[in-house]
Homo-oligomer: A and B are copies of this chain.
Amino acid sequence: MELKFEEELLVIPGAESQLRLHRIADELSRRDIDAVLISDHANLFYVTGRIFCGWALVWADGSAEYFVRRPSTLHGDGLHRIRKVEELPGCLSHRPARLGLELDLISWSAAERIRAAFGEGVEIVNASAAMRAVRSVKTVMQIDLMAESGIKQTMVYNGIAKLYREGMSDIELQIEIERSLRLHGCLGKFPVSGPDMEIFMANVLTGENADVPSPYDFAMGGAGLHPSLPVGADGTIIKPHNPVMVDANGNFTAYMTDMTRCFCLGEPPAEAARLNTLSADICRAVSEAARPGTAAKDLYELALGMATDAGAADYFMGHRYHAGFVGHGVGIEINEGPVLAPRSRDIIQEGNTIALEPKFVVPGLGAVGVENTYAVTADGPRLLTLSPQNIVQFD
């Protein structure tokens, strides 16, 4: 009777679901894990294409079962309706000997409750790294969705110069960018894995604020509006010839692109323009070098070497505080693998989608540099963030 409110659990096509489940299964087999029980929202979304309140159990043979608490409107193959996790083991035809949980992501209490529900005889192991490895390599469908985000993000960025009004502060400009993003379909949510980063929609930096360190793991800092969210714009009035760096939410399809561009009221200073061009050059060189099989740490060294050769090492990835990476995977969340950092053990793979952000802080003036998102393909880098890379003057 109320059938129109019923919905298939799986939002992604069956073949795409099978592909993703088999990627998880391969990773589980490699690590000798019999099944992984997923409840982290980003991982649930990867597996089903939706967020629900419950769990997905993916077996090492590539099959999956779904345990749904809410909403009650979902139906589909392999779906069990349960009220609490204690009911879950009883739904299974057999128990896994080694059960993977997202121990880096779910709370201690949630993990121990699952352990107790399965009881003795089921060994609990950490499957966080397995899921992170799976998600660092995107499918064609995922890259297409990121490309769609990149186009929409580009449209918004190409209109930013028109949003400036005389006398604006960094946050006033950011609010107009937020509105434009939302009107173009940005979902707003800026998903981050773990507790080390949080942000609202964008980081807009100008002037001395660009040099204020933040507690978070982002490339750039900024004091923020309030000590409860200490990152980004702090109300600084935008001054002539001070670059304004915009790093704003590219989540239009639940697959995010990550793009940074710089703007300026009037002509940017020569040093700012030089370092911005250097940043674009580093992006191009690193993206070309990011072939399957390359060590991610070598890409960091390439970027740092180019900055050093240009006499800009002191300003590279910050001035008062230097971020310890130059790029990161991106997709469902902003901080996926691989990580391009000095001690990274990640190896670049076809299907990685990488945000490169070689940025420079020019003390007293602001931050400059570009950030681009690339898909790693067999034929070289595919650029997903398409706005012009020069420092654009406000209209």
Residues of A within 8 A of B (CB): 2, 5, 11, 39-41, 45, 49-54, 69-73, 101, 103-112, 126, 128, 171-172, 175-176, 178-179, 182-183, 185, 187-189, 194-196, 198, 200-201, 211-216, 221, 225-230, 253-254, 320-321, 332
Contact = CB atoms under 8 A, between A and B. Distances in A.
A52 B215 contact: yes
B45 A187 contact: no
Contact of A11 (B45, B227, B253): B227
B228 A50 contact: yes
Contacts of A176: 179
Contact of A254 (B185, B228, B320): B228
A70 B228 CA distance: 14
A148 to B, nearest CB: 12
Contact of A111 (B54, B108, B188): B108
- List 7 A-B pairs, minimum CB-CB distance, nearest first: A188-B200, A50-B227, A228-B254, A71-B213, A108-B111, A53-B215, A103-B108
A230 B50 CA distance: 8
Interface majority SS (helix, strand, loop, mixed), chain A: loop
A124 to B, nearest CB: 9
B107 A41 contact: no
A172 B54 CA distance: 31
Contacts of A2: 320
Given A39-B195, A183-B175, A229 B321 contact: no
7 contacts: A53-B216, A70-B214, A103-B107, A106-B108, A107-B107, A178-B179, A189-B198
B320 A187 contact: no
Nearest to A254: B228
Contact of A107 (B5, B72, B106, B214): B106
Contacts of A126: 109
A321 B53 CA distance: 14
A129 to B, nearest CB: 11
Contact of A51 (B128, B211, B215): B215
Contacts of A213: 5, 70-73
A104 B103 contact: no
B107 A104 contact: yes
Nearest to A230: B51
B178 A182 contact: yes
A142 to B, nearest CB: 13
Nearest to A42: B228
A201 B175 CA distance: 13
Contacts of A226: 187, 253-254
Given A108-B101, A227-B11, A254-B226, A182 B175 contact: yes
Contacts of A11: 227
Contacts of A101: 108
A336 to B, nearest CB: 15
Contacts of A179: 175-176, 178-179
A383 to B, nearest CB: 24
Of the candidates A108, A171, A201, A221, the one having the most CB atoms from chain B within 10 angstroms of its own CB is: A108
Contacts of A49: 227
Contacts of A175: 179, 182-183
A175 B107 CA distance: 34
A72 B196 contact: no
A126 B225 CA distance: 33
A229 B188 contact: yes
A156 to B, nearest CB: 13
A318 to B, nearest CB: 11
B107 A51 contact: no
Contact of A321 (B71, B111, B128, B172): B71
